[in-house]
Amino acid sequence: MLNIEKIIRTIEDNSLITKGDKVVVAVSGGPDSVCLLHILLALKNRYELQLYVAHFNHNFRGLEAQKDAQYVADLCEELEVMCFVKSENVAVYAKENNLSDEEAGRIKRYEFFREVKKKTSANKIAVGHNFNDQAETVLMRLLRGAGLQGLSAIHYKRGDVIRPLLDVEREDIEDYCVVNELNPKTDITNLKPVYHRNKIRLELIPYLKENYNPNLLEALVRTAKILKADSDYLDSQAYDIFKLICSMDSNEKISIPIPSIDIMHVAMKTRLFRLASERLVGKREVFSYTHIQSILALVSKKNTGKRLQLPMGITALINYDKLIFTTSSEIEYDYSYKLKVDELVEINELGAVFTAKILNMTAMKKINVDNNKKMFDFDKVKNDLIIRNRNVGDVFRPLGMKGKKKLKDFFIDNKVERSERSKTALICDGGEIMWVVGHRISDYYKVTKQTTTFLLIEYHDEKATKMYYRNK
């Protein structure tokens, strides 16, 4: 039989509730959530709680789902609790976003719970996960393949979500509902092995209990607690390392020194990457095992400019000795290469190559210049040829102008997209800009009647680069 003192111990031991909390209680109408609401009402005075109920109708079960919603509304009226109900066609959302019904339902449920939380100025969301749910989750994730964090399964508290019933077995919850005449609704889909979790609960767990370990649930929950302790320790170490070596230039960009990553154990690297995703998008579980392996491969190759597109709009890229995670579409580039005559220079950041050749008058006349191929007066070049992106304070003399112009103003006047400005290559004679590639050359370096030696510089973009190599 459910002992309310056991739930109080769970609340106290895990700091789930403090006096004066405003709590949104997620109530589906099933035994777990109805029991949770009833118990929190019993503890209302003890913790000086303000309670609100949120019921989400997934529209998976037609009329039965509507009856569940009505039951929750009637129950809340009887218990004098403010109730919020929302109905949405989750199956359509799942199909449109290529999600399973289970995952789509979870996403839309929690979206609604947080809507209610915001509307009521609540600070916590209580959900009815129980002891059996915990065991099932451990087994489900073990079968799917998971690390320490995944196998630690359901937490008593994660962000604004609390689970006061996590130490209570489902049988005790059902008995509590009977004794208190709560008459919860039964979702008939939970009685059929139609979903992955249902199959584990209805088929696999009974088989394992009968044939291998009658105390299977206790063993699985104990495993989750052991692994959570280990995972929490590693997370705390990773968090300290993150604060020490990572820099967050804005809410959209995190930089991690590659030399520091290289000397870390892979367990720390994984946690560091997931902490970065949590800082950027508020979710640590964004990167799967496959994503982590792809990031590690990106780091090991150390190719400046190489990038990897990750879930939730996150991009990982290499910028010299740094790994950068960003959600910004405006990626700040930082590159500089020497351009030598008769040598091919690869610009990793652009996926492109540049070449430079010295020509006489006869050879020059055979060349047709275009947007990616320009001719210069070589006699005016006094320093090393450099290919770089913009620097603060850059100026140059655009072709046709007598005076100099700020590069920033040139970009604005020529409607160069902000996201392209730091990427745009500049060909320079030491510190002097000769060519804003793809746009205009400097008037100072233009070919005139007095030019005797000609410098041809060619730019081949990613597609042209492949063709260039095929023709070599």
Question: Quick one: pLDDT at residue 463?
Answer: 47
Map tokens 């008995």 to a residue: 175
437 SS3 class: coil
Mean pLDDT of 285-290: 88
pLDDT in tens, 68-123: 999 999 999 999 999 999 999 999 998 888 888 888 899 999 999 999 999 999 99
pLDDT in tens, 158-185: 989 999 999 999 999 999 999 999 999 8
> 336-471 architecture in CATH?
3-Layer(bba) Sandwich (3.50)
Contacts 24+ apart (CB under 8 A), 14-19: 14/156, 14/157, 15/157, 16/156, 16/157, 16/162, 16/163, 16/164, 17/43, 17/47, 17/49, 17/124, 17/162, 17/164, 18/47, 19/47, 19/48
The helix (H) or strand (E) run that includes residue 455 is: strand 454-460
Calpha distance 140→437 (Å, rounded):
55
Calpha distance 310→326 (Å, rounded):
10
Q: Is it the case that residue 304 has pLDDT exceeding 80?
A: no
- pLDDT, the chain, mean: 90
For the domain spanning 4-224, the CATH number is 3.40.50.620
Mean pLDDT of 259-276: 95
CATH entry, 246-326, from 3.90.1560.10, 3.40.30.10, 3.30.465.60, 3.40.640.10: 3.30.465.60
- List for the chain the helix, strand, coil content (%; round to 5): 45, 20, 35
Region of 357 on the Ramachandran plot (φ > 0 left; ψ -120 to 50 alpha; else beta):
beta
Q: Is it the case that residue 25 has pLDDT exceeding 80?
A: yes
Question: Quick one: pLDDT at residue 466?
Answer: 46
293 SS3 class: helix
388 SS3 class: strand
**What residue spans define the domains of the chain?**
4-224, 246-326, 336-471
Map tokens 């007066």 to a residue: 377
Specify the range with the lowest mean pLDDT, choosing from 162-176, 188-202, 222-236, 437-451: 188-202
Cβ partners under 8 Å of residue 316, min gap 6: 295, 298, 307, 308, 310, 323, 324, 325
Structure tokens at 384: 């090393």
**Greater pLDDT, 1 or 189:** 1
Structure tokens at 418: 């902000």
Question: Quick one: pLDDT at residue 187?
Answer: 67
pLDDT in tens, 134-166: 999 999 999 988 888 889 989 999 989 999 999
Mean pLDDT of 25-38: 96
Mean pLDDT of 285-313: 89
Q: Is it the case that residue 132 has pLDDT exceeding 50?
A: yes
Calpha distance 199→9 (Å, rounded):
32
Distances (CA, A) of 253 to 216, 285, 392: 45, 18, 20
Q: Is it the case that residue 251 has pLDDT exceeding 70?
A: no
Specify the range with the lowest mean pLDDT, choosing from 6-15, 232-241, 242-251, 354-363: 242-251
Pairing, β 395-396 against β 385-388: unpaired
Helix extents (H) in 193-215: 196-199, 205-211
Structure tokens at 165: 């019933």
Buried b or exposed e, range 318-340, using 16+ CB within 10 angstroms: bbeebbbbbbbeebebebebebe
Burial (CB < 10 A; 0-12, 13-18, 19+), residue 178, is: exposed
pLDDT in tens, 366-414: 888 888 899 999 999 999 999 999 988 999 999 998 889 999 999 988 8
Cα torsion 203, 204, 206, 211 to 10°: value is 130
Distances (CA, A) of 183 to 24, 129, 147, 334: 21, 19, 39, 65
Question: Quick one: pLDDT at residue 378?
Answer: 94
Nearest residue to 419 (alpha-carbon basis) of 343, 288, 329 = 329
Burial (CB < 10 A; 0-12, 13-18, 19+), residue 38, is: middle
Distances (CA, A) of 398 to 348, 421, 438: 27, 16, 13
pLDDT in tens, 414-453: 888 776 788 899 999 999 999 999 899 999 999 999 999 9
Determine the angle formed by the axes of helices 131-144 and 216-245, rounding to 10 degrees: 70
Question: Quick one: pLDDT at residue 193?
Answer: 65
pLDDT band at 192 (very low <50, low <70, confident <90, very high): low
State the CB neighbour count (10 A cutoff) for residue 281: 16
Calpha distance 447→453 (Å, rounded):
9
Map tokens 């106290």 to a residue: 12
Contact 52, 125 (CB under 8 A): no
Nearest residue to 409 (alpha-carbon basis) of 399, 419, 421 = 421
SS3 of 172-185: HHHHHHHHCCCCCC
**Greater pLDDT, 170 or 348:** 170
Calpha distance 259→299 (Å, rounded):
10
Question: Quick one: pLDDT at residue 412?
Answer: 87
